[in-house]
Amino acid sequence: MKLLSTIAILSVTVPFTLADLLPGLTNTAPDSSFVKERIAPPANTTLYEVYFARGNRIYQCNPEKEGFQHWYNVQTHAFLYGTEGQTAPFDREGNEVGQLSAAPLNPKQQMSNPMDTMPVIYNYRDGSWAGTSRPLATTTREEGRKERGDSVHLDDHIVPVTRASTDGYLSHAKYIIRLNSLEGVVPAAETCTKKGLLINKPFTAYFMFYTDVEGMQQLSEEEVEWKQMVENYTPEKLALAKTERKEVAIKSKKVVASGKKESDVAAEADVAAEADVAAEADVAAEADVAAEADVAAEADVAAEATVAAEKEENVPARD
């Protein structure tokens, strides 16, 4: 009986769910051909990434307020999954590539329940992020809308990237399109009956990232750099590089030490040479003094001889 009940439920819910999917998206991620002109990005932009999101929108009841603050979307959180080269389901364990959450990044609105919060998408691989502002265009009030039920599913929309990391994969995003948004819609106004009541509404969607010509060029260059880092930053290569750095440091220390010894020997040789020069100078000085003494002695002898000769000349002859 339970099996029959389950089959009966599936027969009702599965067609409804599939009917809300964009045609052709049952197993694959969308490309730009699925984006309606109403929410299309500028013609000079290019789609460079598509993530699948599964998450929750938390609504807070404020009976005293009207409009979007009656059921205030206090937080949106979702895990993001890669889709490139894959087929659904994308939300498999281990396929997470990032996350989305709302943050009060407006410095002028730091109060609780600010008028504006900024959805921020993080990339796990390199830590880059992109924050967006209010939508530029939505499908909420689109005439002849067939793939959505306004009271069941979130709108599809395009938002500009207004803040981003200074580098990294998501820093190049200029526009983000939320496409094929399912469920997550704000609760009915009449269900807000108690201040602070919270309702968690799960949702899924695709997030499509667009950049300009310069961004595509930078992405291409960064991808080459990233592949090089992935190739070079392995435990084995990092350990080898560390060993090589140690060996270079040891050799440098030996060269420095050797240089010091050579300088010490040279200094000692200089001192010895100076001592030799000084000794030679002393010997030369002593020789000069001795020569001068000899000359003086010879002069004295000559003088004495002269005196003696003079004396002999002055002695009278004997008769």
Domain boundary among 187, 218, 233: 233
Separation CA 135–CA 39 (nearest Å): 9
Q: State how far the Cα of 315 lies from the Cα of 319, in Å rounded to an integer.
A: 13
- Are 228 and 295 in a shared domain? no
- In a shared domain, residues 241 and 223: no
Q: Which helix (H) or strand (E) holds 226?
A: helix 213-232
Domain span holding position 286? 235-319
Q: Are residues 100 and 196 in the same domain?
A: yes
**Phi and psi at residue 313, to the nearest 5°:** -65, -30
Residue 122 sits in the same domain as residue 248: no
pLDDT for the residue numbered 253: 80
Q: Label residues 17-29 b or e (16+ Cβ within 10 Å = b).
A: eeebebeebeeeb
* d(C-alpha 92, C-alpha 80), whole Å: 10
The average confidence (pLDDT) of the chain is 82
* Residues 281 and 299 placed together within one structural domain of the fold: yes
How confident is the model at residue 299, as a pLDDT?
A: 67
- Residue 158 host element (H or E): strand 157-164
Measured at the alpha carbon of residue 46, what is the angle toward residues 168 and 23, in degrees to the nearest 5?
A: 115
Boundary-marking domain end, from 233, 252, 270: 233
Number of domains in the chain: 2
State whether 251 and 156 are in the same domain: no
State the sign of the Cα–Cα–Cα–Cα dihedral 39, 40, 46, 48.
positive
Give the rounded percent of residues in the chain with a pLDDT score beyond 70.
70
Please tell me the predicted confidence (pLDDT) of residue 255: 77
Residues 46 and 112 both lie in one domain: yes
55 and 193 together in one domain: yes
Q: Which residue did the predictor score with more confidence, 259 or 47?
A: 47
Q: Could you report the per-residue pLDDT of 284-312, keeping only the tens digit for each?
A: 677 666 667 666 666 666 666 666 666 66
Q: 187 and 55, same structural domain?
A: yes
Domain boundary among 190, 218, 233: 233
Residues 81-127: tens digit of each pLDDT: 999 999 999 999 999 999 999 887 677 777 777 777 789 999 999 99
Same domain for 173 and 302, yes or no, is no
* pLDDT tens digits, one per residue of 270-289: 766 676 666 666 766 776 66
Q: Are residues 293 and 175 in the same domain?
A: no
Residues 267, 119, single domain; the answer is no
| pLDDT tens readout for residues 187-229 | 999 999 999 999 999 999 999 999 999 999 999 999 999 999 9
